[in-house]
């Protein structure tokens, strides 16, 4: 269950926060939720949750099904997608990632930090690698993804500490890192090599390699990766054959964005 944001002064609107938590709950669970489930997530009672749901329904962002459960409508997707499309850097990154995907013949992605998760912003898919389909706006944990590791290894120290304090090292496979000490050691390896590996830690049968896109101060503002099936690539082959391309492309994107004075817009 997501915690409420701490009180932020007299102008902070707690009811708005709880209304947004309703949308976050429905997005995160990816299934219709009952009124009671929504109330628990928003830290309120059923009567108040019912008013939130009614308002969001009237605005067209959620809908109640015949089983009296609520789900998101396509209208809510327009909010995030419009914001993503409005970012100038997406077109720059896509140019380089599209070239990389053609060069290696594999799926490539770009993600940014969103809270203590990564959010996919660009995705060029050559085949479906996971049992579920990732889309722009999809989120995954930072502790078991290559892009999450690349971001955490090079993010600003203040932000990194904040995220580490909130991480839940939940195992998703038998290879997932499940402890803070092992994770910190992994981040040191990433800093030394300049890239991160996900070796079936998020999903069995999938490996990926990621590198950070950095601002002028060397802090990660995004990460890119190449995702491949384990049946085609061993871990050593991933490092030998794909590491040079992913590091080079991340560097090219970083340079292009710096030249357009974009870095300051995305460091938050």
For the stretch 106-152, pLDDT in tens is 999 999 998 889 999 999 988 766 555 788 888 999 999 999 999 99
Which domain, by its residues, includes 28?
Answer: 14-76
In a domain, 258, yes or no: yes
The reply to whether 184 and 149 lie within a common domain is: yes
Residues 148 and 247 in one domain: yes
27 and 101 within one domain: no
Per-residue pLDDT for 1 more than 60?
no
Residue 9 resides in a domain: no
Residues whose CB is less than 8 angstroms from the CB of residue 188 and which lie 6 or more positions away in sequence, other chains included: 153
Per-residue pLDDT at 249: 96
pLDDT in tens, 219-246: 999 999 999 999 999 999 999 999 999 9
Same domain, 260 and 127: yes
Residue 3 lies in a domain: no
Same domain, 169 and 259: yes
Instruction: Spell out the long-range contacts of 254-258 with Cβ–Cβ below 8 A and sequence spacing 24 or more.
Output: 254/213, 254/214, 254/215, 256/92, 256/96, 257/89, 257/92, 257/213, 257/221, 258/215, 258/216
Verify that 151 and 260 share a domain, yes or no. Answer: yes
For residue 217, pLDDT over 90 is answered with: no
Asked if residue 175 is part of any domain, the answer here is yes
**In a shared domain, residues 61 and 135:** no
Residue 193 clears pLDDT 90, i.e. is over it: yes
Last residue of a domain, one of 76, 101, 125: 76
Cα distance between residue 232 and residue 110, in whole Å? 22
Query: In this model, does residue 77 exceed pLDDT 80?
Result: no
Residues in CB range of 238: below 8 A, 6 or more apart: 197, 207, 208, 209, 228
Same domain, yes or no: 235 and 195: yes
Q: Which residues contact 252 (CB under 8 A, 6 or more apart)?
A: 96
Residue 56 forms part of a structural domain: yes
Are 72 and 128 found together in one domain? no
Residue ending a domain, choose from 30, 46, 76: 76
**Which one has a higher pLDDT value, 265 or 181?**
181
Same domain for 118 and 154? yes
CATH number of the CATH domain containing 187? 3.30.450.40
Choice among 8-17, 186-195, 232-241 with the minimum mean pLDDT: 8-17
Domain boundary among 76, 99, 118: 76
Is residue 2 one of the residues assigned to a domain?
no
6 within some domain: no
Q: What is the mean pLDDT of the chain?
A: 86
Do 54 and 118 belong to one domain? Answer: no
Q: Which residues contact 176 (CB under 8 A, 6 or more apart)?
A: 143, 144, 169, 170, 201, 202
| Residue 188 shares a structural domain with residue 142 | yes
Q: Which residues face 123 on adjacent strands?
A: 109
Residue 18: which CATH number?
Answer: 1.10.10.10
Confidence band of 95 (pLDDT split at 50, 70, 90): confident
pTM: 0.67
**Residue 88, number of CB atoms within 10 A of its CB:** 11
Name the percent of the chain lying above pLDDT 90.
Answer: 57
The count of structural domains within the chain is 2
Is residue 117 situated within a structural domain?
yes
């Amino acid at each position: 269950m997501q915690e409420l944001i701490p009180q932020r002064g007299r102008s902070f609107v707690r009811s708005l926060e709880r209304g947004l938590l309703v949308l976050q709950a429905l997005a995160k669970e990816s299934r219709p939720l009952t009124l009671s489930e929504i109330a628990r997530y928003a830290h309120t009672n059923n009567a108040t949750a019912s008013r939130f749901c009614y308002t969001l329904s009237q605005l067209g962002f959620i809908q109640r099904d015949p089983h009296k459960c609520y789900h998101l409508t396509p209208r809510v997707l327009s909010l995030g997608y419009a914001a993503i499309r409005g970012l100038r850097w997406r077109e720059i990154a896509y140019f380089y990632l599209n070239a990389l995907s053609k060069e290696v013949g594999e799926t490539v992605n770009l993600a940014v930090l969103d809270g203590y998760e990564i959010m996919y912003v660009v995705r060029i898919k050559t085949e479906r690698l996971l049992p579920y389909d990732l889309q722009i706006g999809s989120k995954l944990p930072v502790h078991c993804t290559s892009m999450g590791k690349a971001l955490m290894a090079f993010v600003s120290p203040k932000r990194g500490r904040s995220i580490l304090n909130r991480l839940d090292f939940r195992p998703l496979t038998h290879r997932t890192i499940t402890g803070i000490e092992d994770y910190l050691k992994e981040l040191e390896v990433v800093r030394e090599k300049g890239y991160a590996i996900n070796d079936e830690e998020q999903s069995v049968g999938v490996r990926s390699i990621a590198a950070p896109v950095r601002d002028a101060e060397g802090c990660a503002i995004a990460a890119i990766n190449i995702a491949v099936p384990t049946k085609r690539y061993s871990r050593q082959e991933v490092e030998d054959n794909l590491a040079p391309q992913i590091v080079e492309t991340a560097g090219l994107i970083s340079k292009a964005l710096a030249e357009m004075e974009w870095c300051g817009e995305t460091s938050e």
